[in-house]
Amino acid sequence: MATRRIMVGDQEVQIPDFNFKITPVLVGLIVLWLATGVYIVGPDEVGVVRTFGKFTRVVQSGLNWKFPAPIETVDTPKVTEVKRIEIGFRTLKNGQYRTVEKESLMLTGDENIVDAEMIVQYKIKDPVSYLFKIVGPELTVREAAEASLRTVVGRNKIDETLTTGKFTIQEETKNQLQSILDKYNSGIHVVAVQLQDVSPPKEVLGAFKDVASAKEDKNRMVNQAEGYRNDIIPKARGEAEAMIRDAEGFKESRIKRSEGDAAKFTTILKEYRKAKSITEKRLYLETMEKVLPDIEKIIVPDKNSGNMLNLLNLNTGKNAGGKKS
């Protein structure tokens, strides 16, 4: 190799004489090296570019170029993919699952133990924070989700946890998990939290089922009673309305009848005042006709009337075979 002498102070130093020559081969190598900087970002991805290990920019999906390694490197996290984490159980390859009791067993607010299993769905909302602010995103989400579920279950009683409070527990767990991840500046958005199964431990499962069955029987009987009440009350009200209407009709008829009787009595009273004797006899005869409708009657005139009348048969048209008086 050729050398070249230079003076450094009072000393003469020999250094290699580099004589670069640009050849076609060198140009080809440089072109190939630059070509390795071409990369594609998928439609569900973003490109996070680092220059000498430091974040510099974010690129969108499509064909892009960067300085080849080791100058620049790129990470392409899937920002639209919804990831899934299982808490309290693991799904096996054959479709079955196994329980992870160290995650699933937890205390309720009234100091009972429940076995809770949950699924957390999340996706990336800030790829830069997701890549550089936390270490082990999946482990971070798992531990934060387990802690959130334990906190929320610890605020609820066992009856609410096993029955009507599941939806509330899901929402509170989701909100608390999102709050923890935001404090970590993780760049993660919690899509959904779903409780898969919440049950008592196996040792007391039978007793809890008996209690639940008794509550269901109680609710069923209450519902039946409510249904009977809702059926019988309208009927009773209808019957009461009918009786009231009948009573009002009877009242009106009696009033009209009484008014008619009073008017009739007033008319008779006027006639009576005009001819007392005749009116008395007519009333007497009408009364007897009502009292003795089927008996033949013979009227004998008053001896003091001065008139000799023939016997008067009031039952005209009837057979004369009845008794005489």
Q: What is the DSSP track for 80-145?
A: S--EEEEESEEE-TTS-EEE-HHHHEEE-TTS-EEEEEEEEEEEES-HHHHHHT-S-HHHHHHHHH
- What's the confidence (pLDDT) of residue 324? 41
Rounded (5°) CA angle 271-274-277: 85
Over residues 113-130, mean pLDDT: 93
Structural domain boundaries enclosing 161: 83-199
Helix (H) or strand (E) holding 227: helix 205-274
- What's the confidence (pLDDT) of residue 296? 65
Residues near 63 by beta carbon (within 8 Å), at least 6 away in sequence: 38, 39, 40
Residues 284 and 259 in one domain: no
The sign one gets for the Cα dihedral 59, 62, 36, 34 is negative
Centre a 10 Å sphere on the Cβ of residue 192 and count the other Cβ atoms it contains: 12
Residues 211 and 286 in one domain: no
Q: What is the pLDDT of residues 125-172, one digit of tens each?
A: 999 999 999 989 999 999 999 999 999 999 998 888 887 888 999 999
Residues 71 and 90 in one domain: no
Residues 21 and 49 in one domain: yes
Residues 122 and 177 in one domain: yes
- In DSSP terms, 72 is beta-bridged to 51
Over residues 59-72, mean pLDDT: 89
Total count of domains within the chain: 4
Q: Is the peptide bond before 70 cis (omega within 30 degrees of 0)?
A: yes
Residues near 33 by beta carbon (within 8 Å), at least 6 away in sequence: 68
**Banded model confidence at residue 322, pLDDT cuts 50, 70, 90:** very low
